[in-house]
Amino acid sequence: MTRSIGWFALALVVACGGNESTPTTDTDTGTGAGPGTGTETGGEAMGGSVLVRYDTADLGDDCMFGRYVSRLMAPSDDEVVAIGYETPCGHNDNIWLGRIAAADGALLASFSHNGVQNFRDIGYDAAPTGDGRWAVVGTVDFQNSVPESGATWFGVFAGDGTESPSVDLAGDARDLAVVPGGYVLVARADPDATVVIGLDAAGAERWRTTREFSIPSGITADAAGNVYVAGVLSDQAPPGKHVALLFKVDPSGAIAWERTHDPEPSTDQAPSYFVDVALAPDGAIVVGGYERRPEAVDTGLLLVHDPGGEQTALHRLPEGCRSVRAFAVDPGNGDFVTVCFDPDGMNVVMKFSPAGEERWRAALDTATPPSTIAVAPNGAIWTTVARFTMEGELRDEIVGLVP
């Protein structure tokens, strides 16, 4: 989930009926800690219109070639939080976490971490700790020419920029969750295996659980400390077939249950994939992904399970959603919000009711799949959009959409 060009952005989509206030268009160029560049486009999208664009690389006082976002979070109506990396002038990439005002793109706070060596440091996931701090996981000292290089870094950023704890760990962890008394990381090991690691509040390892022959793609946790991991199985028959996997790890580190989704058992013509997992307001576990039918047509999927692992709903999404590339659950009404790849090769934000009925959609003017989407308590939706500039540079932008 890395790119060699360090530009990034966020996209704000105001969900139909979920937000009573409309964000205003900011047309100022940001300097210092002020708002970023806003441009009113006036362009129409199916189910919504483009309201504003921000070039977030302009935020802050420092000389910055650009920034890239791995994941977005929307902990409140007033701000969105981005984790990824930044490329300062004269330096390789740093792990970067930014808190950004929802109303105007102002940079509220910015934190960074770089490894011992001057190589690439990439942030992958973050989560609020509940006391104003942010837990972060990423890779430090990665070298493009050495695939096995780098180590997992885990740290917690406080409001004053201090890191405590700040530890390097073995493995390739890219997802994390905050649980009572500590944290849980999910790493991929070679050959294909998912490693779930429980840490205490100081960052010391408490337990470690491995699910062989699987590749992780997402994690979420409930209030009791149970962790739900999405991914795929890689050891299915025929050899090489991928089957979507969801499993639960209890607070002691034991695998409580696992579930798979295989649309065509015993054939290699219908692989399935889960790309992420999230909790619904009622405590249900929702996974999103896609399956490939024997006729080689991808179909977007949303599956719902109760905490005991029973599947309570399976939604095969309409033609406009060939595959779910990122998804989130609206914390207010439980709607499913997805970034889908459509039959024309473009990306579309689609919103579905808990019953799987489509509420609205908005086309994104990019063929590069966004890797993340988040929903604020007021229903505002954030995602990333990539596009080429007139000079041929690849950038992501903040894009505001309203129905």
pLDDT of residue 222: 97
On the CB side of 123, CA atoms within 13 Å amount to: 32
Q: Order of strands, edge to edge, in the sheet holding 323-329? A: 323-329, 336-341, 347-352, 358-364
Q: Decide if 31 is inside a domain.
A: yes
Secondary structure of residue 323 in the 3-state scheme: strand
Q: Decide if 6 is inside a domain.
A: no
Q: What is the pLDDT of residues 121-157, one digit of tens each?
A: 899 999 999 999 999 999 887 766 555 666 899 999 9
pLDDT at 193 over 80: yes
- CA–CA gap between residue 182 and residue 174 (Å, rounded): 17
Mean pLDDT of the chain: 79
Q: Decide if 3 is inside a domain.
A: no
Q: What is the pLDDT of residues 1-30, one digit of tens each?
A: 333 223 334 444 433 333 333 333 332 222
Q: Decide if 21 is inside a domain.
A: yes
Token look-up 């060009």 returns: 5
pLDDT at 321 over 60: yes
Q: What is the pLDDT of residues 260-310, one digit of tens each?
A: 998 876 566 678 999 999 999 999 999 999 998 766 678 999 999 999 999
pLDDT of residue 38: 34
Q: Decide if 4 is inside a domain.
A: no
Q: Decide if 1 is inside a domain.
A: no
Structural domain boundaries enclosing 397: 11-402
Residue 392 region by backbone torsions, left for phi larger than 0, else alpha for psi between -120 and 50, else beta: left
Domains identified in the chain, total number: 1
- CA–CA gap between residue 135 and residue 220 (Å, rounded): 14
Q: What is the pLDDT of residues 338-364, one digit of tens each?
A: 999 888 888 889 999 999 999 988 888
pLDDT of residue 47: 47
DSSP 24-89: PPP-SPP-BTS--EE-----EETTEEEEEEEEGGG-BSS-EEEEEEEEEE--SSSEEEEEEEEEET
Q: What is the pLDDT of residues 231-267, one digit of tens each?
A: 999 877 677 678 999 999 999 999 999 999 988 765 6
What is the average per-residue pLDDT within 183-190?
Answer: 93
Nearest CA-CA partner of 155 in 172, 135, 173: 135
Q: What is the largest CA-CA distance in the chain?
A: 59
Domain containing residue 332: CATH number: 2.130.10.10
In this prediction the pTM is: 0.84
Q: Decide if 229 is inside a domain.
A: yes
Q: Decide if 2 is inside a domain.
A: no
